[in-house]
Amino acid sequence: MTAPQLVVEVDRVLPAAPATVFKALTDASLFSMWMGPAGSTIAVEELDARVDGRLSFRIKLPDDGPEFHLYGAYLDVQPGRRIVHTWFLEGEDVESTVAFDLEEVAGGTRLAITHTGLSADEIDQNDAGWRHQLDRLEEALAKIAA
């Protein structure tokens, strides 16, 4: 019997057009501005945002903290609307899937993140992590607009 796979769902209205939010999710220089915990260093190795394209990046935590390598493959890419990719953390053999759905709304873009394939012990950390990432993405979008 396999463990149940749980889901984290978070969303936020971001003050930017869907095309701008999509670019922040797929352009290496913008992606490195918001991905990972505040104060960490992001090294984007690959963001080939097309079906069967690869994503690969490293997160180096601050204060001589550890480095993590995350990678996956794009399953669905609809510019300005949707991105779905697999998500692996190096050293673990568990695959999960992350979907980013973008919807134009008054005042910007509603970005809904759905992270599936998680175990019970990963839910709280991933929920908090994606909420933190949305905070950082919102800050990055403000810098882009400035």
In a domain, 68, yes or no: yes
* HSE (side-chain half, CA atoms, 13 Å) at 144: 23
Output the pLDDT for position 145. Answer: 76
Query: In the prediction, which pLDDT does 2 show?
Result: 56
**pLDDT 10s per residue in the chain (146 long)?**
455 568 999 999 999 999 999 999 999 999 999 999 999 999 999 999 999 999 999 999 999 999 999 999 999 999 999 999 999 999 887 889 999 999 999 999 999 999 999 988 889 999 999 999 999 999 999 988 76
Q: Which domain CATH number covers 38?
A: 3.30.530.20
Residues 115, 100: contact at Cβ < 8 Å?
no
Residue among 53, 72, 42 nearest 133 (CA) = 42
- Print the domain residue range for 33: 6-145
Q: How many domains, the chain?
A: 1
Of the candidates 26, 27, 44, which has an alpha carbon nearest to the alpha carbon of residue 36? 44
- Position 126 scores a pLDDT of 93
pLDDT at 21: 97
Q: Is residue 132 part of a domain?
A: yes
- Residue 57 within any structural domain of the chain: yes
Q: Is residue 1 situated within a structural domain?
A: no
H-helix segments, the chain: 18-26, 28-34, 123-145
For residue 139, give the amino acid letter: E
Instruction: Enter the pTM of the model.
Output: 0.93
